[in-house]
Structure 1
Amino acid sequence: MSTISQALAPLIRVEGAELHYRVGGALSALRGHAPVVKAVDGISFQIRRGESVGLLGESGCGKTSMGRLLLKLEEATGGSIVFDDEALSSLKGTALKSYRKRAQLIFQNPFDAVNPRFTIRRTLSEPLENAGVPASEREGRIISALELVRLPDPRPYLDRYPHQLSGGQLQRVVMARALILEPDFVVADEPVSMLDVSVRAGVLNVFRDVRDRLGLTAIYISHDLALVRYVCERTIVMYLGRIMEDGPTEDIVHEPLHPYTRALVAAVPVPHPDQSHAPLPIGKGAPDPRNPPSGCVFRDRCPRAFDRCARKVPRLRAVGTRKVACHLFDEDN
């Protein structure tokens, strides 16, 4: 395959992916009453090499579960996920270990992501050791990784412990650990949500710079549309385990199509003290995921729902530059 064809070919193909959990405990399961939570419910999309995609939605929409499926931290209960023409479900042993080098996770909370008893040197040495990198090469790789995430003069930090670093410094260490094996694909799970607002911009700038310099394929998980807009060229909007809208981020921001996406755009804070928000154009909070609405899972909150929404699950269809799962865009409307 030519270099151009490789660049345009999808690195990741997701087809009908499902991740279902039985809840209620062993006794409920024995009685046959254990409800099922469909964290990811039959969704499909592709990600090109070098593309940066945001997974956007409220808490509980399934975006973190989708990220865990992409990293094979959870086994899919249905559908398929293919990475670089190899099905994740088939990866075992040496092949799985090789995949772990190519796909890495940047955790949400840097204080929970590292062992408080490990120095920074040991924290960053561990993945190199697991990958079989010779001891003589580890120090140089560690320094290079810390410089990559713009931790200035990194040597004095190597023998410090996590509690001796600020939140922003520690998140850069967590990013360096994810990047130290030179992965092809990174999932960033709300990497700045636990940081002070004053340091978020610096960490986001590092993420964008590293992604562009290394040509990484990236998934950025967030509930904050403003952050997704800053770091992602494309956005996938999720709700109760399903995709509502998928398309270029700027198109979604300027002209949201799905009623749920419109509500997310309307919820973005207005940076003016005298300008107030209009009421959000959606109803009550999200329903119980153990018993979602029939048909379109968003219909009980949607201001434009009609009879068909209760009877039929809308399929994801192409609408201009985007794909939208909404009966308002059915061909017979």
Structure 2
Amino acid sequence: MTGACPEYQRPCGRFVDDKTQEIIFYWQNDDGVYQISIYDISRRRWVNKTKNFKKIAMPNSPLSEELVREPLPDHNGSAGTLCRLSGRRVILLYGGFNEREDAPTRNFYMIDIDRSRWWKVDVPGHIPPRVDATMVFIKDTLYIFGGRRQESYSMAQFNSEHAWDWIVTREPYPAHIVLGYPGDSISVFGGDKILLLPGYPNEKIQEVNYSPSKTVLFDTKKRSFQVYGDMGGKFPTKIIGCDIFLAKSQHFLGQETWRVKVEDQEVLGQDANCSVILVAWKSTFEGRRDVPEVWLFNLSLSQPSTSNTCCAGLREELKEEDVSLLTCAVVVDDRVIIFGSTDEVDEEKKFDVCVELKL
């Protein structure tokens, strides 16, 4: 791994582009300035693109050429996702925590990766601020779920005038849906559903115990919730953080498993089964490496009771690498790629190594 590696263990967003085989890190340097670094998987090389970015001076004017030099927006507790709008790769950031005002925000930013510019989107005052929410973009619609003390969701639609229509301002979850924060969300079944997984139950308990009652499908057409109450298998427990990714799977590890690419989404909408890979971390003791475990959630629409989870049992194998592997695990082209550091334990400084697991 070569190039300008991002710094280790800071507020960090990670976004995957399957088509270009690139991984985008949105991170904060020692001076508190946010950076954009892109990792080219084929070349195994990092490039810091931050200096190329400029801000569009007028809010809500993505086509404007009135540009100013200004640092990238904060990513402190904001929800983020990568999407394609008008053929371009765009990072969407919503919400977060304003330390100066000691309050959550409803800040909404769009960062055009291909044109190296970003701008702020005005958000109506009745849209709730959110910290540590999750969000998913499907076709032309943005879904924002949860956050601290926010058991609700919002929806916004990107229109032909390059603006956003808020079609759901704040809709509370049904009483039986309690997911905590920040949780995870991912588009499944070709965008017909969104899988919602739980987060911390409160600010005092910073661990997640997964279970059937907290494995939830959101129907994007009916705007309804379904709990996988009969889901079988062993579930991850005492998890402090995880990353989830879509896989198309009949089996797992060395058998018929492949990464779902963007162009396959419409076909998958007809499938009655899909699988999600979850790479999960437990807390480590001082002086030990950060090493995750890999899990598979197999989901069925036609027969929910046959849905199940299983553990891949790779943690011991990953320990042998003798590197710290911290979050930012991604699935690209049949590979789970987990980034980490070769520095001494508790002295990690750079994301300078990655471990690849072939599916």
Is this a same-fold pair by TM over 0.5? no
Name the structure where helix makes up a greater proportion of residues. Answer: 1
Name the structure where strand makes up a greater proportion of residues. Answer: 2
When Rg is computed on C-alpha atoms for both structures, the one with the higher figure is: 1
Alignment TM-score, normalising by the size of structure 1: 0.29
Alignment TM-score, normalising by the size of structure 2: 0.27
Higher relative contact order (CA 8 A, sep 6+): 1
